[in-house]
Structures are given as structure tokens and as C-alpha cells.
Structure 1
Amino acid sequence: MDWQNKFAPLSLSTTDALPELALAHLTSWGAITMVGDDKKSYLSGQVTCDVVSLAEDSSTLGAHCDAKGKVWSVFRLFHHNDGYAMFQPKSAIAVELAEIKKYAVFSKVDISESDDVALGLIGSSATQVVEQLSESQGDVRAINGGTAVKIDDSRWLLLLTPQAAATLVTETRAQLIDESLWTRCDIENGLPVLPAEQQNEHIPQALNVQALGGISFTKGCYTGQETVARAKYRGMNKRAMFIVSGNAEQQPATGAELERAVGENWRGAGQLLTSYRFSDGKCIGLVVLPNNLEADTQLRLKDAPESLWKIEPLPYSLDDE
């Protein structure tokens, strides 16, 4: 496993260019896999996204909720090997695995935590590398030892067996970096990251899952559907996920509390889902806040009140169609 020690932190300021090609070891990410004759129907009855119509060359975001519509997991779903993979933060998997398996005894389906390795290709040359690894086209491609999944124009997720990952790391020309740049890209793209600390706290719309195509309002029944539908059609959702930025002397911890200015006072606003700190001290993060806040609302870290933050524009709209 010496290849795992080759990844180094990449320190970037707010003005530094991204590397042309980097390979990140996504150590805090993992996947739940699902195989078996009933995998499609079983999963469709559990999650918010449209599993039945998911093409083999496409991926989708989705959420898995409890009966009250509170989210156990936000994941990226795609075809992987002979079944599905639900890619998500590793810290959420233990609880999510138990919840997603709860009714599996009644179906022909095998659900387990994958031992595959998650690697992230980042940079303008990322797609070129994937094209060398696979002869197929599309946003999800089978490659030797696993699957390549397009995240955006400059990022691909590689979910590989440990042996295939080791071979790729040994042979690649990419700069080998830790996962922090991947986190930065997730934040800048407004992609929800739900850590264990905030499982069962939010409905999917509070994490912007609907704005990213991760909720089907026309599919059949699934766990928590009543709450999710009510939030859309009756306007009951009062929260949304926002990109925030500020300055901090050190990397804020996951779950760090933000406060919002209310006149001359400060009130609790939300907890950071994830964050990234540039080398020149600027930080960005994701946080669930009341969705009626003014865009110029001033924020601060509760544990570092001198650290003022603000809300940044999302790269997509939260308005219902």
C-alpha cells in the first residue's frame, strides 16, 4: 500500500491557477454497492432520484430519507460493475448502510459497503485521461478495475479496486494530491456534502437536492416522499444550502457553527457541512441557512467572532420550475 503515501497537500492561494492534471486520493469518501435481481425496484422505493430511468452512461444525485423526510444520505448514484454504487462521505456510511438495508430481507438484493478506492481526476486534461482508460463514451464509463464518473467539465471520479488504483497511481503523469482540492471544487459547484454529524437533520430541499436534479416528483412511492412533496407543493421548506466565504486563521472544523447578524445581536444560523481554506487565509464552505436571508446578511464563526463571513452566489437557481 505504499502508493497511498504518495499524495501530498496542495497549497493554493485564491489567485493560484488549478493544476492541469491532478489525481486526488479521496480518503473521506466511499460507496455503498447494490447488486441482485431486485436492485432497481428496491432502490427506487428507497431514494428520491429516478432510479428506473437512470441510463448506464449517466449518474444522478439523490437522497435517502427516513419516514419523516429527514436525510440519512446524499449520494451520487451510478451503474458500477453488476449493480449500483452510491458514492457519499465515508462518515455517513455506517448509519446509511443500516437504514438502506432495513427492508432488504424481503428482496433479492445484496447491499454492502464497497472496499473500492475513490480517486479524483482534476484539471483540464482529466477527460483526456479518461478517454485513454476507456473506449466507451458518456458520463459514466467502465474502465479496468472499476468505473469513471464525470462530475463536471474538469473532474472525474474513479471508483477502482485497490489493485487497479495502485496501478493507476504508479503509472499516472498527474500530480498526486490530497482530497482538499476536490472538496474545494464541490463547494464552488454547490454540491451537497452530508457528514455524519448532520444526518437526519435536514429534508432534501434544504440541501438543494431538487435544484441539482436529485428529486423526481413523478416517480413512484419512496420513503419520506410525503414530506418531500409537501415541501415543494405547499412551500413548507424554510431552509437551503448556501456557499459562504470568510477569513480564518485555521481550517474550520466540520460542524463549526455560524451566527448571523440580527440588528446589533448575533443568532445561530447553521453548521458548516464542509469547508476549504486557501493559503492566503480565505475560506469557503457549505452551510444550511434559512432560505429567506438577505444576500448581504453578515455571518461569523461562533468560536472565532472576529472572523466575518458572507453568502456567495450559487452556480444554479433554487427557484421552483
Structure 2
Amino acid sequence: MTTWLTFLADQGANISDDAAPRIVSFGAEIPGETAKTNFVAPLTHLGLIAASGDDAANFLHNQLTNDVEHLGSNEARLAGYCSPKGRLLASFLYWQTADRIMLQLPRELQAGIQKRLQMFILRAKAKLVDVSEEYVMLGIAGPAAASALMPWFPTLPVAIYGKVDNEAGTVIRHSNAFEVPRYQWITTVEQAIEAWPHLTEILQASGADAWNLAEIDGGVPHITAATQEQFVPQMINFELLGGVNFKKGCYPGQEIVARSQYLGKLKRRMLHASVIATHVAPGTEIFSANDPDQPCGMVVNAERSGADISDCLVEIKLAATDAPVHLGSASGPLLSFQPLPYPLTDPAV
């Protein structure tokens, strides 16, 4: 067990025994309640790839769906990594430091994605390194988030995905969820251990579920092992979140992604739904009553939000929403659709 995980265990964290350990909880908090108030969640299920070298920005620019070459020092961005068929293999949050570009993605995907990217470096002056153990990532949210961070970051980023750096690390502003502000603090293990007592005086220590549930409320999808190669970026609203740049040069799958954008009306989108079910897995198919024999979509992400309720982001044929939609089969639990925090460009929704 790493120094950080050992420290968290001593603070009462319940840690999963997965290959990528996840902080399950600190006691009996309910994610659906915690996510709506003040909390700090260690994001140990996320990993970091550092890209360095003279050609690192150009290399990533030619691989990802978003602009890397013109990434500002005071911002982070979303990006996708697609197969040649335009289907997402991974989704990233990325930003630059003084000498590296950092790519954040689920740890369960990291090794495979890093290996695949490495295959295409060829003669480019670029190097990819797993730096997950060098950093701690903390999800911090709630009305008291700013005051909790003030000892280290007296000035916080205002714009969504705005970024501030100093000797204490990096803070990135995330979209509001449950009407409260959210930030991610990326720092060293030593700094996180030192800051933890102060943070938890103001914020409730929480498992990763609260942060993930907030991402769902914010309409921000994440590709997981179960959903690799299932979606063109627009099918999960990725371009609406700024994760696709249609003016940049080519990247794997670019022609298909562009064609999906400009040829006809988009027929599939990602929606927010709740369902009476406690264990909803990404990749679970959903079915419309109008066509019970064929799935009309798939769960992208899901987290339990109450004793017997889960919140989900689901990719779905828009036409299927005219009838009841069920989880797992045509006789499964009924999905109840909720508003997204941003408008869809398709007028049918």
C-alpha cells in the first residue's frame, strides 16, 4: 500500500481491493447527500500520464480530439482519444505544467492507453510516463470549498476548467454540481497529508462516489473499460463540453467525428436519468417500450444516489425517449429522465 493510501486508511478510509484502489467511504456517508454539501474526496481511481519533450504538444495534438498546441497555462481542457472508426477509447482532462502536459484518466485504462499512444511516438521527441504515484488528486466541493483552499490558494480560478498553479500544486475549477462549486487539487503526497487535517475540519471526508455523482449531475461523461469503442464523441455530448475542436488538424477518427457533426441531425445523445436500482454498471444496455427487442442505448456512468436509487448518464437514440425506457431489459427498472445543466443542440430534446 502506498504512503497516501496508508495515511487514508489511518484516517478511517474504506479502500477497495481493486487493482486501482478506490476510496469507498469514510464511515457511513451517503453519496447522494454528501455530493450536495461540503466534501473532500481522494480520487485514487484516477491516474496521470505526463508527456514531456520538445514534440510532446504536437504529438498529442495529432492524437486527441482537442487542441493541445494552443493550450493556455491558466486552463485545463477535456479531450478524447478515438479509434480509427471515431469511437472513444478514452476521455481525458489535460493541462500543462512548466515542462509537461498532464493527462488524467481512469487508472483502469491508463496502462493500455499509455501503451497505445507510445506506439505512435516513433521519431517524435516525446516521452510518456506514469506519474500517478507522484501526485494526489483531491475532489473538493461545496459552499465552503473556497475557504478550505484559501491557505494554499488565496485566488481561485473562476472560469470552468480554469487553472491556478503555485508551490502547493494545481487547482482546476470544475463545473458546478448540485448548485455548488467544485475544484480539483493536484498536489504532492506530502502536501496532501499536511493539508488533510485542515481540509477535514471544514469539509466532510468522502469516498470517490460523491465526486463521481457530482460529475453525473454536471453532465460530464467518463469513458471506462466497459464503454471503450462504444461512442462517437457527440453521442456523449463531448463537443458540448468543449472536448472536441473541429478546426484543428487530423487525429485518429477525425473524418468520422466531423461527418457526425456536419451531415444531418444528431440522432443519439447523452441524457441524465435516475432509476430505482442500487448496482448499475457502465455498459448496461437500455430498452425502449417501442422496440423491446433491441437496445436503444447504454449506461455511460452511474453512481448510487440514495438507499435504492442510482443516477446515470445514458447514451440513447433520441427517438426512443418518446416511450418508457427501461434498464437492462424491456421489463427492467424504469428510467426517469432529468434535465442536463446545459442545452442540447438537437431541437428534438
Match of 2:194 in 1: 167
How far residue 306 of structure 1 moved from its aligned partner, in angstroms, is 4.9
Gaps of 5+ in 2: 14-25
Which digits, 9 at most, give the CA deviation of each residue in 1:27-54, with x for residues without a partner?
2212222111112111111111122222
Structure 2 residue aligned with 1:134: 153
Matching residue of 1:149? 172
What is the match of residue 243 of structure 1? Answer: 272
Equivalent residue letter for 1:92 = L
Go from structure 1 to structure 2 and tell me whether the alpha carbon gap of 1:283 and 1:170 turns closer, same or farther (over 3 Å shift). same
Maintained 8 Å contact 1:65/1:72: yes
Q: Quick check: 1:297 aligned with 2:295?
A: no
| 8 Å Cα contact 1:254/1:273 also seen in 2 | yes
Change over 3 Å in CA distance of 1:291–1:20 after alignment to 2: closer
Evaluate the alpha carbon distance shift between residue 9 and residue 108 of structure 1 in structure 2; reply closer, same or farther with a 3 A threshold.
farther
Partner of 1:313: 339
Report whether the alignment pairs 1:223 with 2:246.
no
Match of 2:18 in 1: none
What per-residue deviation string (whole Å, max 9, x for no partner) do you get for residues 114-134 of structure 1? Answer: 222221111112133334313
Residues 14-163 of structure 1: matches in 2 within 5 Å?
16=33, 20-80=37-97, 82-115=99-132, 116-134=135-153, 138=157, 139-144=162-167, 146-153=169-176, 154-163=181-190
Shift of 1:181: 0.8
Aligned partners of 1:314, 1:77: CA distance in 2, in Å?
Answer: 24
Q: Distance in 2 between matches of 1:309 and 1:133?
A: 43
Larger mean Cα displacement after TM superposition, 82-91 or 141-150: 141-150
Amino acid at match of 1:104: I
% identity of equivalent residues: 26
Task: Indicate conservation of the 8 Å contact 2:137/2:187, yes or no.
Answer: yes
**Would you say 1:233 and 2:262 are equivalent positions?**
yes
1:3 matched to 2:28? The reply is: no
Q: For residues 152-177 of structure 1, what are the alpha-carbon distances to aligned partners after superposition, in whole Å with 9 as ceiling and x for unaligned? A: 24111122222222222244222211
Letter in 2 for 1:149: I
Which of the pair is proportionally richer in strand? Answer: 1
CA distance in 2 between counterparts of 1:218 and 1:243 reads: 29
Return closer, same or farther for 1:44/1:123 CA change in 2, 3 Å cut-off: same
Query: Is 1:181–2:185 an aligned residue pair?
Result: no
1:13 Cα deviation after fit: 8.0
Cα separation, 2, equivalents of 1:148 and 1:17? 21
Q: Go from structure 1 to structure 2 and tell me whether the alpha carbon gap of 1:104 and 1:316 turns closer, same or farther (over 3 Å shift).
A: same
Counterpart of 1:200, as a letter, is E
What is the root-mean-square deviation in Å for CA atoms of aligned residues? 2.5
Q: 1:46 to 1:276 in 2, by over 3 A?
A: same
TM score, norm. by length of structure 1:
0.89
Structure 1, unpaired ranges of 5+: none
Classify 1:23/1:74 alpha carbon distance in 2 versus 1 (closer, same or farther; 3 Å): same
| Secondary structure, counterpart of 1:319 in structure 2 | coil
1:135, CA displacement in angstroms? 5.3
CA contact (8 A) 1:9 1:178 kept: no
The TM-score, its normalising length taken from structure 2, stands at 0.82
Give the C-alpha shift of residue 192 in structure 1.
Answer: 0.9
Equivalent position amino acid for 1:45 in 2: N
Letter in 2 for 1:133: W
Distance in 2 between the 1:49 and 1:135 partners?
A: 30
Find 1:258's aligned residue among 277, 286, 300: 286
